[in-house]
Structures are given as structure tokens and as C-alpha cells.
Amino acid sequence: MGPATGGRSGARVGEQASAGARWRRPLRGLLLAAIGVLYLISVPWYRDQTAPLALSFGLPDWVAFALACYIAVAVLNAVAWLLTDVPDDARAPDPAPETEESGRENRA
Amino acid sequence: MSFSALGLVALLVYLAAMLGVAELAKRARRDESPSDHFLAGRQLGVLVLFLTLYATAYSGNSLIGYPGKAYRTGFSFIMATGFMMSIVVVFHALVPRLRPLAVRLRFVTPGDWVRHRFAAEPALRPLVLCVGILMSIALGNFLLAQLKAMGEVTSLVTGGVIPYHWGVVGLALLILFYETRGGMRAVAWTDAAQGILMLFGLAALLVWLLMEAGGLGAVTQAVAAVRPEAVALPDAERCAGWFSTIALLGLASVIYPQAIQRIYAARSGRALARSFAIMSFMPLLTTLVVTLIGVAAISRVDLAPGAASDGVMPILLQEWASAGGLPRFAAVLVFLGALSAIMSTADSCLLSLGSLLARDVFGRLGSDAATTRLGKRLAALVLLAVIPLALQRDVTLWRLIELKMELLIQCVPAFLLALHLRRQAALPTLVGLLVGTSLAVGLTLAGMPRIGGVHVGLLALVVNVMLVMAGSLLGPRAGQLQTLGSHRGFVGATDNALPGG
């Protein structure tokens, strides 16, 4: 493979990575929102208190449903983590103001 | 061989193995710097990182306290699976922003972030001090709970051959020995071994329990017959408590100093993300298991109403061990798994306490061996102070952990909010922290640990955050107005315009 081809290939990889980053961020946000909804419905605040005990998979049905929500949370959260970019370099935004002291003190 | 003899032999083998691992960790040491001692030279890979996160997150409370709580509460303690999972979810708000800064600026303690974030502000020093003190109290509290649990488990596994008091003192000194010699490396490696032991122990216990009871359906029916309220839908107040506990533990646990230090200690961001991906499933393999064990105990164990619920798990294990043969061996394995969980949490607490006190409370920011030595000495002093308290056996583990969380959660604005709210200033953060802490402690001491099912610590956090937001967004921030220029509001909205990162 010639250098020119390699360069094009490298550029393509870069473009693909950039495109990947573009869809990964909203997808991660979507997963986290879904996790929020799952937490909201896992607690049986909306159920009829007077309903008789019903079993599902050997557990009270409200427990089985809460458990199903938490299993879904585990899967979605794991996927969200795999989509999360945790940079090791200085690319990430720094919420602190840039001052002389901020870096020097911690490098001491 | 009797249960106590088998337990004693297993305990001695286990402790010898821990000392061996610590010795290997000491030999792997590169230098005497705080970074090498307290963060293992920032070289923890996926597997060790995951296992040390796991062993640290699941403490004596998870294995001894939670089954007791599930025994008292019933099936609604399924909430524990949710709140342990919420910790790994909330880390999304912390890790991607904190980790790169920690690498670039060589953070060692949580206070290093606060120092960086609020640099040059007049309220910086008192803020770092208050955060350091609050975290130290919470860690001391957590350490106390672990020491108590160590004494209980040692006494049980050896059938009283090693009494509670000797268990507390002996194991505390052993932890101090290996933590002082091998630092974070020793802690992480022993945590890895302890995490594996814990997983095997829990799996063995669940299989035994379900086989004994004849499956989940039989367990539920038996529980419904003995205590119908344990299978009933929780009322509105309990549902509020369910939400409150998820929020309390999810928010407070991510700012455990030992958890934050593991974010700093990871070899790479990728290793960290993968470790958290695996951690997502651990509540299903650990918390759910101990919850089912506690619930299943309702129809098997008749504990007096006033008796400490922490006794449920040991009673079950002793019952299992009495069958002899393989069950006895497996029961010892579970006891060792519980002891592993306890010791791995205690050693992490102790290590964090040393660095936290040296850097954040006493302000020793050096990267030399003297700072490391000071951290080791302070950790030893704290341990020696906590041991006499641990010898008192009258407070249950669950109450201890709740008190700790209500204090720790008041530090949330200094971390989770400060990572995202660019306008946040040190003074309102300090005021919010002091007001929130006073409110949480005051209401708890006044006998109101919850209001309408919601933890007072969480309510105090709401007041805390409101004060921080009002003070930061309404008041001018000295020394930062010029630097910030027009970049106001939440960080997420101005990511691309932020300075060099």
C-alpha cells in the first residue's frame, strides 16, 4: 500500500471515528434518559394498593417488574459506558477558570 | 473437622495470603511519592480496577447489613438493587469530566479537584478544609462500620475461638500493616482477590438457599404465609423512601473519596469506562442475591423484634454449616467472602483517609516521601482512635451507613455541580455545604431522620444546591469575570468555547 493510499485510508478512519463520535453522544444521552424512565417506573407508586398478591417468575409481580427494570438499567448503563469517551488528554472541557494558581498548586 | 476449626484454618490461610499479596505489592513499588502510594502509580488496568471498585463498593454492610434489612423490610428491599445500580449511573456525570483533569493536573485526593476548580477565590481554603473534614468524618464512620463487622464475622467463623474484640483489633492492625507497606497497589490487589472470593461465596449461598427452599415461588409463598406485609405493595411513604434512598446513595456514593481516587488511579479512560460497564451488572449478582437471602430468611429465622437484624446472615450460615460436609466448607467460604468484602472496604477507607487528611485537611501538597509518610501516620492515628468505638456493639450497620451518606451528600455541589456549572463560586458552595450539613445533622439529632419518607440529608441537599445556585448565578464572582468573558451558564452549553482543557 502506497503512502497516498495509506493517507486516504487514515483520513477515512478519522472520518469514521468522527462520525462515530457524532452518533455516540446522542445515543448515550438517549440511553441515560431511558434509564431515568426505568427508575421512575421501577417504584410501584402508581399501582393499586388493594390488588391481591400475584406471582410472576416466583416473585410478587411488582417485585418482578422492578427487577426487570433494574436488569434493563444494567444493560443500558453498560452500553452507555461503552459509548462513553473518557479522554486521557486535555480534550475535555475544564469548568475551572484558567489561572496561574490552578495548575501550579496541583502539580506541586 | 468442626466448623470452628475449619473456619480458623481457612481464616489463617486467607490472612497469610493477604500478607503475601501485600509483600508483592511492596516490591512492585516504584517510589515513595503520594501518587505511587495512594494511587498505585496510576496504572490500574481493567480487571484489577473493576475488582477493586467492586470490592470497595460492596462492604460489610452489603453482605451482613443488607440481608438483615431485607429480613425486616421484606420484598420492597429490592430497592437496594436499584440504588447500588444508580451509583454506576451517576458516575456518568462525574467521570468523563473529572478524569482528564485528574490526569493532566496529577490529582491525588478529591480536594485537589476543589483546589483546581475554585483556585484564587478567597473562600477556597475553608471550602477545601470543610470538604476534607466532612469526607474524613464519613470515611471514619464507614471504617467504624467495617471494623465492627470484622469483629462479628471473625467471631462467627471461628466459633468464638477468636472473640469479637480480638477480631476487631487483630484485623485492623493487619490492614494497617499491609496498607502501610503496599499502599493502593496492595489494597487493589488484595481487593481483587477478595472480590473473587466474595462472588464465589455469594453464588454458593444463593444456590443453597433456593435449593433448600424449593425455588423462588416457594420462598414467596412461605414469606406471604408468615408475614403478609413483607410481600405487600409499599405504601406512598415507602415509595417516597424508595426514591429517596436511590437518590441518596446514588449521589453520595460517587463522591466517596476512595471511589474518586480509583478514577484517578486508572491506567486509562478506556479501562475506566470498561470497568464501569462491568460494574453495572454487579448489583444483580451481589445486592439482589443478599436481598433474596434476607427475604428467604423471613420464613426460616425467628428474630426477636428488638434484636439487631445484622444477625440474620450469620444465623443462616450456621444453619447451613450444621449440615456438615460440603455445605460446611461452603459456609466457611461465604464467611470468608463476607470478611473479604469488609476488609477490602476498610483498607480502601484507611488509605483514602491518610491522603485526605495529609493533603486536604493539613494542606501538605508535596509530592515527596514526607507527605506519604504523614498520610500513613495520620491513617494509623485514625485507626487507633476508631478501634475503641468499634468495640461498642450497640449500633446496627445500616444506621451507620445512613448517617454517613447524609453527611457525604452535602459535598455533592462541590463535585457534581461544580463540574457542570461554570459560574459556581467557592463562597456559595461553602455556605451551602455548611447550611446543608447543619440541617441534616440537626434534624437527625432531633429524631427526624426522614420527613414523609424522604431522608433529611436529601432535603438538606436541596437547600444546599439552591443556596449554591442562587449565590453563584446572582452574585458576581470576583477574579473570574474577565477570564470568563461571555461564557456563562452551564458548561455543556459552551463546551466548544471553553479554554484549553
Among chain A residues, the shortest Cα distance to B289 is held by: A67
Residues 10-49 of chain A with CB under 8 A from chain B are 32, 35, 39, 42-45, 47-49
CB–CB of B500 and A94 under 8 A?
A: yes
By the CB < 8 Å criterion, does A90 face chain B? yes
pLDDT digits (tens, 9 = 90+) for B114-123: 999 998 888 9
Of B81, B116, B418, which has the smallest distance from its Cβ to A102's Cβ?
B116
Which is more confident, B172 or B43?
A: B172
Closest to B420 measured CA to CA, from A88, A5, A96:
A96
Of A59, A87, A108, which has the smallest distance from its Cβ to B269's Cβ?
A87
The structural domains of chain A, with segments of one domain joined by +, span 18-85
Residue B208 above 70 pLDDT?
yes
CB–CB of A32 and B280 under 8 A?
A: no
Cβ–Cβ < 8 Å for B339, B157: yes
By the CB < 8 Å criterion, does B288 face chain A? yes
> Any residues with CB less than 8 A from the CB of B167 and at least 6 apart, and which?
B150, B151, B152, B153, B154, B155
pLDDT at A90: 56
pLDDT digits (tens, 9 = 90+) for B355-408: 899 888 888 777 677 777 888 888 889 899 888 888 876 655 555 555 678 888
Cβ–Cβ < 8 Å for B431, B423: no
Cβ–Cβ < 8 Å for B359, B34: yes
Residue A2 above 60 pLDDT?
no
Of A60, A70, A96, which has the smallest distance from its Cβ to B117's Cβ?
A96
pLDDT at A15: 60
Q: What is the 3-state secondary structure (H, E, C) of A52-93?
A: CCCEECCEEHHHHHHHHHHHHHHHHHHHHHHHCCCCCCCCCC
What pTM value is reported for the model?
0.84
Of B100, B280, B491, which has the smallest distance from its Cβ to A78's Cβ?
B280
- In angstroms, the CA B79 to CA B100 distance is 33
- Interior CA angle at B185 toward B184 and B190, to 5°? 95
The structural domains of chain B, with segments of one domain joined by +, span 3-409
Which is more confident, B273 or B210?
A: B273
Lowest mean pLDDT among A65-74, B30-39, B316-325, B421-430: B30-39
Fold of the B3-409 domain: Sodium/glucose cotransporter (1.20.1730)
Among chain A residues, the shortest Cα distance to B415 is held by: A95
Of B115, B246, B419, which has the smallest distance from its Cβ to A95's Cβ?
B419
Residues 304-363 of chain B with CB under 8 A from chain A are none
The stretch B206-217 carries a mean pLDDT of: 79
Q: What one-character-per-residue DSSP string does A3-33 give? A: HHHHHHHHHHHHHHHHHHHHHHHHHHHHHHH
The stretch B289-315 carries a mean pLDDT of: 83
- State in Å, rounded, how far the first CA of chain A is from the last one: 48
The stretch B273-278 carries a mean pLDDT of: 95
CB–CB of A49 and B233 under 8 A?
A: yes
What pLDDT band is residue B18 in, cutting at 50, 70 and 90? Answer: confident
CB–CB of B219 and A51 under 8 A?
A: no
The Cα of A3 is separated from the nearest Cα of chain B by a number of Å equal to 30
Question: In chain A, what residues touch B78 (CB-CB under 8 Å)?
Answer: 63, 66-67, 70
Helices (H), B235-310: 236-253, 257-265, 269-279, 282-285, 287-296
By the CB < 8 Å criterion, does A96 face chain B? yes
By the CB < 8 Å criterion, does B233 face chain A? yes
- What was the ipTM of the complex prediction? 0.84
By the CB < 8 Å criterion, does A55 face chain B? yes
Residue B484 above 50 pLDDT?
no
The Cα of A5 is separated from the nearest Cα of chain B by a number of Å equal to 30
Of B86, B99, B498, which has the smallest distance from its Cβ to A93's Cβ?
B498
Cβ–Cβ < 8 Å for B357, B128: no
- In angstroms, the CA B367 to CA B33 distance is 6
